[in-house]
Amino acid sequence: MDKVKEYFISNIDDYSAYSKMGPVTSDGMMTINEHKIILTYLQHILDNNIEGDIVEFGCYGGGTSVAIKKLLKANNSNKKLYVYDSFEGLPENHENDKIATNTKGTMVSSLQTYKDKIEKNNCKDINITKGFFKDIKESELPEKISFAFYDGDLYQSTLDFLNKVEGKMSKGSIIIFDDFVHPQGIFPGTKVACNEYFKSNNAVTFLGDTHLLGSKDNFYYVDSSSVSQGIYEITKQ
């Protein structure tokens, strides 16, 4: 079995990563179980000393940022967290998103709302960049990335994200894509973009989506009525 999958399965039940942190509240966009999955993979990165900092593309109201920062603190990690969001909602959708209405300006959370969330949770030293993914400059990214969490929903945004970060991902690093498979078929663009981008790319291993990795006997199970996350490992660099 792949080492990362093995780590995931052996660590998620007692969830040592999550228990280190104390209570974490969601911002209404991510469930506690989704946070558990994200943080278990991040704990794997920390345990194995994978080189690089952490990036979050699409941070919305800050719930996931708080969870990540608390886990870094619990591990006494010096890894930095970089977050990127337009704070103006989504950009326009692409035909591959198969959405009838224009997404521009929807699903918005303000920069002030985000700052209030992280300050309330005493999360300091987060590098915040405001802007759409396509406009992010190389100088605004860390030199190396060990872990990336993406929640940008749309086809073109996914490609913009991948074009920015793939060359900076360390060997053994992990990328988690939210909204990878939606039970109602909403936001299919993320998975379509990943399939296109990673096609014939032997430097990346698809570990699966969380519908496939789950088990009804375990509390981290993400059933087919919920949104799943797609998980990739950078195996060569």
Share of the chain above pLDDT 70, in %: 75
What is the three-class DSSP state of 178? strand
* CATH number at 3-234: 3.40.50.150
Domain boundaries along the sequence of the chain: 3-234
> How do residues 67-96 score in pLDDT, each as one tens digit?
899 889 888 999 999 999 999 878 777 877
Q: How far apart are CA 128 and CA 115, in angstroms?
A: 9
Q: How far apart are CA 97 and CA 116, in angstroms?
A: 32
Q: How confident is the model at residue 34 (pLDDT cuts 50, 70, 90)?
A: confident
> How do residues 117-141 score in pLDDT, each as one tens digit?
999 989 989 999 999 999 999 999 9
Q: Indicate if the pLDDT at residue 221 is higher than 50.
A: no
Q: How far apart are CA 37 and CA 21, in angstroms?
A: 14
Q: How far apart are CA 3 and CA 37, in angstroms?
A: 16
Stretch 95-102: mean pLDDT: 70
Distances (CA, A) of 151 to 28, 49, 76: 14, 25, 26
